[in-house]
Amino acid sequence: MNPNELSKFPTVVVIGGGFGGIQVAKQLANKPVEVILLDKHNYHTFQPLLYQVATGGLEAESIGFSLRKNFEGQKNLRFRIAEVSKIDTESNIVHTDIGPIPYDYLVIATGSTTNFFGNKDIEKYAMPMKSIPEALNLRYMVLQNLEEAILKPSKEERAPYLSFVLVGAGPTGVELAGALAELRNHVLNKDYPELAKEEMKVYLVDFLPKVLGPFSDEGSKAAQGFLTKMGVEVLLNVKVESYNGEEIKFEGGKSIRTKNVIWSAGVAGVVPDGVGKEAIERGNRIKVDNVCRMVGSSNIFAIGDVAAMITDDTPKGHPGVAQVAIQMGQLTGKNINRIIRGEQPEPFKYFDKGSLATIGRNKAIADLGKIRFQGFFAWLIWMFVHLISLMGGRNRVIVFINWVASYMNNNGGSRLIIRKFKPEELASKTEQVSKPD
Amino acid sequence: MNPNELSKFPTVVVIGGGFGGIQVAKQLANKPVEVILLDKHNYHTFQPLLYQVATGGLEAESIGFSLRKNFEGQKNLRFRIAEVSKIDTESNIVHTDIGPIPYDYLVIATGSTTNFFGNKDIEKYAMPMKSIPEALNLRYMVLQNLEEAILKPSKEERAPYLSFVLVGAGPTGVELAGALAELRNHVLNKDYPELAKEEMKVYLVDFLPKVLGPFSDEGSKAAQGFLTKMGVEVLLNVKVESYNGEEIKFEGGKSIRTKNVIWSAGVAGVVPDGVGKEAIERGNRIKVDNVCRMVGSSNIFAIGDVAAMITDDTPKGHPGVAQVAIQMGQLTGKNINRIIRGEQPEPFKYFDKGSLATIGRNKAIADLGKIRFQGFFAWLIWMFVHLISLMGGRNRVIVFINWVASYMNNNGGSRLIIRKFKPEELASKTEQVSKPD
């Protein structure tokens, strides 16, 4: 690529190679623009399967896909690993750790991060799971605490190492709970004959009265039933008060001694510095109009988890799911083309394809509009949808083999502690989220 | 397992879950002994394929195998992640970071680590590759330096990031050189259109006059031919003088500016503290008699890379290869059984199955006694031997798929930078070798 040759075309800078950012870049292939895609990692993360990386069922590389590989052959695109420090909306420049990058159009597709709602202690001691490095930390922590448990002589001393408290009963919490219950029910006795299965406890906690909040009541009830049957203790209408690394306390007096608190109770948008306060909505999201344009700007777009498109139909904005990001990304890529051609951008219309969540190794919940079903068939649908959504043929084959192996022998996963997780690293985990690690 | 029930049996402590240690433990299954297997990691590393992890062709988990999973069902065995601090040969106790462990029989199967021959600067700046974490560091370093290179405006500034100097032309150096040459020849242009293929240089350096020193001249010459054809610059009869992180200097005045020096020029045994100086041989190995017993001891054995069995036939001991460790491990397990039964231990006889080394994605060198061949058929043999030697059916299937995919599309490997490698970590890498990370 000769940069001089391209300089006559407008530059579109896309921040973030998640579900949304990738679609924007794809729509701009072979168009008269220069695309610069920035991400702090050199890979796309297939977030819906992060929980399987955390529980050892899949390798990190099966749900990560090289952004360079993905855009091989797209001649008008350059990819850079970069950390954005600030956006200068006056001069149209993105400031990064690899230098300033001028843009004609900017797409903010930075996604969301874990929201601890300002509770610094919980932030310090609880584990988030929004990125591959965080999922790996979680995997190593679980394994290390099982190893630690067998060194303790009494049941009481073992208890905090063997108690897993998942806060937030959305899809992430539910899927993690299922996977940890499988680990307890099928692997623990084989790998750790010193430990009794009953000593390992999995708790799923939410302040709402139901699991899988946004799902139908039918799906939500079925999920709770599956979890309970697998031995997960579901605690609803329960608010977390504090966690000090040793004991989690709930409003009303109940508490659990545990070294393992996993927090998936909320997210907040990752908004780059330089976005005006007037454009920030609840949940630290960027307020956008109906074509995903940041309010008050003519050439900056925000899509996916970081965007809040408040309309009469969506008073809280759209749900933070992959489909919203993908559809916003496709539209925004097309709209930038339209704007460059002098046409009007088209408004966003979300097509809700439905929701899926899996529980354990062979059950799932499917809420596909008015069609709702639960159990084994839903799990087949879940498998199929996730396999075709993965990037890369090799990833699909390898994930499929892993799932078949784990379905058949109930002992999937490699369970290696490749890099020891050090709890003191948690103190700086917010930093980890924003920096490549 | 009830420890009290076992206490009437003698305790065999095995330090190290490598090729040798695993065989000892296996031979003791269902025998009247209690086996305690210690390793600083919770997995076995299939070292012959480490270079493929380093170059992104295989995932770490494909060549690591959970030691707990491997010994599922062996009721007389307990596994512990432990770091040995000292052996007390008087009181028959192994001191570890999880407490003291008494033994009746001790097998030291600690393997070897990178030998920098006392050159502190090289140790500080060059990359070793003897463990999975080290192979991952190497992978991330290569990818990060490619990313760094595209940010540099001139060819001269890019050169040190794009020059890879492999010191040591044994199988590890040769196989790494082949894999890096493949990366240059087939991937670089696709992933980094900003870089010209010719800018990336791969050098293979040895002070010996041939590559693959222990191989036949025929095999060695063929290997050198394959490498040269792939664009690797082979520098023989060349001794490294110094490396400061920016420039490697050779005796005689030649030097290369490079950020990437990978050191596989020698190994040294990992001998636990407490082994008397009189039992240490050249290469920091433990002197053993012809039944692998440490000289001066009746109940301590050393096997594999850490053992030096000096006989008239083997004046320098045996080669540091997996087969020696495996065969010594099998014999030592059987011998411990014999000793417990009151029988005489049998002497070690090494059965040399031959040597294999692969070059690039479809060539190999096979030296099988008097039968020697090179090229594609040797590569098929190499593939077959390595596949059947891997532990775990899933690993075999996944490695096979990866190899087929990479053979067919020449673009294998996921090339993700999961954890940024920080060069300053190299300063403490000797520590990394001995601690789980």
Domains of chain A: 3-114+268-340 (3.50.50.60), 120-264+416-434 (3.50.50.100)
Contact yes or no for B286/B15 (Cβ under 8 A): no
Cα–Cα distance list, B271 to B111, B115, B392 (Å) = 8, 13, 30
Indicate the residue of A401, A414, A417 with minimum beta-carbon distance to B397: A401
Distance CA B223, CA B363 (A): 9
Per-residue b or e along A141-180, where b marks 16 or more CB atoms closer than 10 Å to that residue's CB = bbbbbbbbbbeeeeeeebbbbbbbbbbbbbbbbbbbbbbb
Predicted pLDDT at A429: 53
Distance CA A306, CA A287 (A): 9
Residue B103 identity (one-letter amino acid): Y
Structure tokens at A139: 């995997």
Residue B265 identity (one-letter amino acid): A
Q: What is the CA radius of gyration of chain B?
A: 22
Predicted pLDDT at A371: 94
Mean pLDDT over A82-110 rounds to 98
- Report the percentage of chain A scoring pLDDT > 70: 95
Q: Do B72 and A191 touch (CB under 8 A)?
A: yes
E strand residue ranges, B197-345: 201-205, 232-235, 240-243, 247-250, 255-257, 260-263, 267-269, 280-281, 285-287, 300-302, 307-308
Contact yes or no for A24/A15 (Cβ under 8 A): no
Distance CA B223, CA A186 (A): 48
Structure tokens at A50: 């992060």
Indicate the residue of B65, B193, B418 with minimum beta-carbon distance to A133: B418
Backbone angles phi, psi at A255, to 5 degrees: -150, 160
Predicted pLDDT at B435: 31
Q: Residue A163's beta-bridge partner residues?
A: A201
Element (H, E) at B147: helix B132-150
Higher pLDDT, A423 or A21: A21
Backbone angles phi, psi at B126, to 5 degrees: -90, 155
Q: Do B42 and A73 touch (CB under 8 A)?
A: no
Predicted pLDDT at A430: 44
Q: Do B405 and A394 touch (CB under 8 A)?
A: yes
- How many other CB atoms are found less than 10 A from the CB of residue A298? 8
Contact yes or no for B261/B125 (Cβ under 8 A): yes
Distance CA A65, CA A61 (A): 7
Q: What is the pLDDT along chain B (437 residues), one digit of tens a residue?
A: 444 444 689 999 999 999 999 999 999 999 999 999 999 999 999 999 999 999 988 999 999 999 999 999 999 999 999 999 999 999 999 999 999 999 999 999 999 999 999 999 999 999 999 999 999 999 999 999 999 999 999 999 999 999 999 999 999 999 999 999 999 999 999 999 999 999 999 999 999 999 999 999 999 999 999 999 999 999 999 999 999 999 999 999 999 999 999 999 999 999 999 999 999 999 999 999 999 999 999 999 999 999 999 999 999 999 999 999 999 999 999 999 999 999 999 999 999 999 999 998 899 999 998 999 999 999 999 999 999 898 888 888 888 888 888 887 767 678 999 988 887 776 555 434 333 23
Measured between beta carbons, the chain A residues lying within 8 angstroms of B64 are: 414, 416, 418
Predicted pLDDT at A432: 40
The SS3 call for residue B314 is coil
The SS3 call for residue B302 is strand
Whether A71 shows a pLDDT value over 50: the answer reads: yes
Predicted pLDDT at A307: 98
Predicted pLDDT at A2: 44
Q: Residue B37's beta-bridge partner residues?
A: B14, B79
Name the residue of chain B whose CA is nearest to A399's CA: B398
Measured between beta carbons, the chain A residues lying within 8 angstroms of B60 are: 59, 416, 418
Structure tokens at B307: 């053992």
Active site members of A: 175
CA B4 to chain centre: 38
Distance CA A162, CA A202 (A): 8
The answer to whether residue B148 is catalytic is no
Per-residue b or e along B94-131, where b marks 16 or more CB atoms closer than 10 Å to that residue's CB = bbbeeeebebebbbbbbbbbbbbeeeeebbbbbbbbbb
Distance CA A114, CA A248 (A): 18
Predicted pLDDT at B105: 98
Indicate the residue of A42, A64, A418 with minimum beta-carbon distance to B60: A418
Single out the catalytic residue among B34, B59, B123, B175: B175
Distance from CA of B129 to the nearest CA of A (A): 15
Sign of the Cα pseudo-torsion (B346, B347, B351, B355, in order): positive
- Angle of helix A393-409 versus helix B393-409 axis, rounded to 10: 170
Whether A351 shows a pLDDT value over 70: the answer reads: yes
Distance CA A422, CA A427 (A): 10
How do strand A11-15 and strand A64-66 relate by DSSP bridges? Answer: unpaired
Measured between beta carbons, the chain B residues lying within 8 angstroms of A401 are: 394, 397-398, 401
- How many other CB atoms are found less than 10 A from the CB of residue B178? 26
Distance CA B287, CA B293 (A): 8
Per-residue b or e along B15-39, where b marks 16 or more CB atoms closer than 10 Å to that residue's CB = bbbbbbbbbbbbbbeebebbbbbbb
Q: Do B419 and A133 touch (CB under 8 A)?
A: yes
Contact yes or no for B413/B73 (Cβ under 8 A): no
Structure tokens at A235: 């605690």
Predicted pLDDT at B422: 84
Q: Tell me which residue has tokens 């997960």.
A: A232
Predicted pLDDT at B282: 94
Q: Do B417 and A43 touch (CB under 8 A)?
A: yes
Element (H, E) at B119: none
Mean pLDDT over A210-239 rounds to 96
SS (HEC) of chain A:
CCHHHHCCCCEEEEECCCHHHHHHHHHCCCCCCEEEEEECCCEEECHHHHHHHHCCCCCHHHHEEEHHHHCCCCCCEEEEECCEEEEECCCCEEEECCEEEECCEEEECCCEEECCCCCHHHHHHCECCCCHHHHHHHHHHHHHHHHHHHCCCCHHHHHHHHEEEEECCCHHHHHHHHHHHHHHHHHHHHHCCCCCHHHCEEEEECCCCCCCCCCCHHHHHHHHHHHHHCCEEEECCCCEEEECCCEEEECCCCEEECCEEEECCCEEECCCCCCCHHHEECCCEEEECCCCEECCCCCEEECHHHEECCCCCCCCCCCCCHHHHHHHHHHHHHHHHHHHCCCCCCCCCCCCCCEEEEECCCEEEEEECCEEEEEHHHHHHHHHHHHHHCCCHHHHHHHHHHHHHHHHHCCCCCCCCCCCCCHHHHHHHHHHHHCCC
Predicted pLDDT at B393: 82
The SS3 call for residue B206 is coil
Mean pLDDT over A196-210 rounds to 97
Predicted pLDDT at B430: 44
Measured between beta carbons, the chain B residues lying within 8 angstroms of A189 are: none
Of B265, B223, B258, the C-alpha closest to B114 is B265
Structure tokens at A322: 């992959």
Higher pLDDT, A136 or A426: A136
Q: Do A190 and B72 touch (CB under 8 A)?
A: yes
Element (H, E) at B211: none
Q: Residue A99's beta-bridge partner residues?
A: A96
Distance CA B308, CA B290 (A): 10
Distance CA B77, CA B10 (A): 12
Q: Do B401 and A401 touch (CB under 8 A)?
A: yes
Distance CA A152, CA A140 (A): 19
Distance CA A242, CA A245 (A): 10
Indicate the residue of B136, B147, B416 with minimum beta-carbon distance to A43: B416
Cα–Cα distance list, B88 to B79, B95, B273, B274, B276 (Å) = 21, 7, 9, 6, 10
Predicted pLDDT at B1: 41
Predicted pLDDT at A428: 53
How many residues make up chain B in this entry? 437
CB pairs under 8 A between A and B: 130
Of B211, B246, B208, the C-alpha closest to B232 is B211
Q: Residue A357's beta-bridge partner residues?
A: A365
